A = this chain, B = another copy of it.
Amino acid sequence: MHYTHHNNELNIAHVGQTVSLKGWVAKKRNLGGLIFIDLRDRFGITQLVIQPENPNYDEAATFKSEYVIEATGLVVKRESINSQIATGEIEVVVNSLKLLNTAETPPIGISNEDKSLEDTRLKYRYLDLRRPIMQNYLIKRSQITQAVREALLVEGFNEFETPILGKSTPEGARDFLVPSRIYPGEFYALPQSPQIYKQLYMVAGFEKYFQIARCFRDEDLRADRQLEFTQVDIETSFLSEQDIQAMIERVLQHTFKKVLNYDIDFPIPRLSYEKAISLYGSDKPDLRFGLLLNTYTDMFAPFEIPFFSDKSIRGFVIPNGAHLTRKELDQFTLSVKKNHGEALAYLKYINQELSGSILKFITEPKALVDTLGLNNQDLLCLVVGKDYAKASNAAGALRKEVGEYMNLASDTDYKFAWIVDWPLFDENEDGSLTAAHHPFTAPKEQDKALLKTNPKACMAQAYDIVLNGYELGGGSVRIHESHIQQQMFEAIGLPSDVIEQRFGFLVGALKYGTPPHGGLALGLDRLVMLMTGTKNIKDVIAFPKTQSARDLMMEAPSSVADLQLDELKISFKK
Chain A residues in the interface with B (C-beta under 8 A): 1-3, 22, 24-25, 40-42, 66-68, 70, 100-104, 106, 124-130, 135, 138-139, 141-143, 145-146, 153, 158-168, 170, 174-190, 196-197, 200-201, 203-207, 214, 216, 218, 227-228, 230, 238-240, 243, 480-481, 504-505, 509, 511-516, 541-543, 545, 548-549, 551, 553-561, 564, 566-573
Contacts and interface: CB of A to CB of B under 8 A. Distances in A.
A559 B185 CA distance: 6
Contacts of A568: 177
Contacts of A177: 178-179, 560, 564, 568
Contact of A542 (B161, B168, B187, B558): B161
Given A41-B205, A145-B159, A168-B556, 19 more contacts: A1-B516, A68-B513, A100-B515, A101-B480, A127-B203, A127-B204, A129-B206, A135-B206, A141-B161, A164-B164, A164-B214, A166-B551, A167-B551, A174-B567, A177-B560, A188-B556, A188-B557, A505-B555, A569-B572
A111 to B, nearest CB: 13
The 10 A-B pairs with the shortest beta carbon distances in the complex, nearest first, are A103-B513, A129-B204, A66-B513, A167-B556, A142-B158, A186-B557, A180-B557, A167-B554, A126-B203, A126-B200
Contact of A42 (B163, B200, B205): B205
A516 B70 CA distance: 11
Number of copies of this protein chain within its complex: 2
Nearest to A102: B513
A115 to B, nearest CB: 19
A183 B227 CA distance: 14
Contact of A164 (B25, B161, B228, B558): B228
Contacts of A572: 184-185, 569-571
Given A178-B176, A572-B184, A22 B204 contact: no
27 contacts: A1-B243, A3-B238, A22-B238, A41-B205, A42-B205, A103-B513, A104-B511, A106-B513, A124-B512, A128-B204, A135-B206, A138-B158, A138-B160, A160-B542, A161-B230, A161-B542, A164-B164, A167-B551, A167-B555, A170-B564, A177-B564, A178-B190, A182-B548, A183-B549, A187-B559, A188-B556, A570-B571
Nearest to A105: B512
A512 B127 contact: yes
Contact of A103 (B174, B512, B548): B512
Contacts of A230: 161
Given A187-B559, A238-B3, A572-B184, A162 B553 contact: no
A22 B515 contact: yes
A197 B553 CA distance: 11
A564 B175 contact: yes
Contacts of A135: 204-206
A88 to B, nearest CB: 21
Contacts of A1: 238-240, 243, 516
Contact of A559 (B124, B186, B205): B186
Given A145-B159, A164-B164, A570 B567 contact: no
Nearest to A543: B163
A2 B236 CA distance: 12
A558 B41 CA distance: 49
A158 B141 CA distance: 9
Contacts of A516: 1, 68, 100-101
A130 B179 CA distance: 32
Contact of A561 (B141, B153, B170): B170
Nearest to A214: B164
Given A165-B545, A166-B554, A130 B238 contact: no
A549 to B, nearest CB: 5
A196 B542 CA distance: 13
A140 to B, nearest CB: 10
A200 B166 CA distance: 29
Contacts of A158: 138-139, 142-143
Nearest to A169: B554
Nearest to A159: B142
Count chain B CB atoms within 10 A of each CB in A139, A176, A551 and give the residue with the most: A176
A51 B384 CA distance: 68
B68 A514 contact: yes
Nearest to A220: B182
Contacts of A126: 200, 203-204, 509, 512
Contacts of A557: 167, 178, 180, 183, 186-188
Contacts of A190: 164, 178
A205 B24 contact: yes
Contact of A174 (B181, B218, B240): B181
Contacts of A511: 103-104
Contacts of A545: 163, 165
A67 B128 CA distance: 57
Contacts of A240: 1
Contacts of A2: 238, 243
A515 to B, nearest CB: 5
A256 to B, nearest CB: 19
B515 A68 contact: yes
A64 to B, nearest CB: 9
Contacts of A24: 205, 513
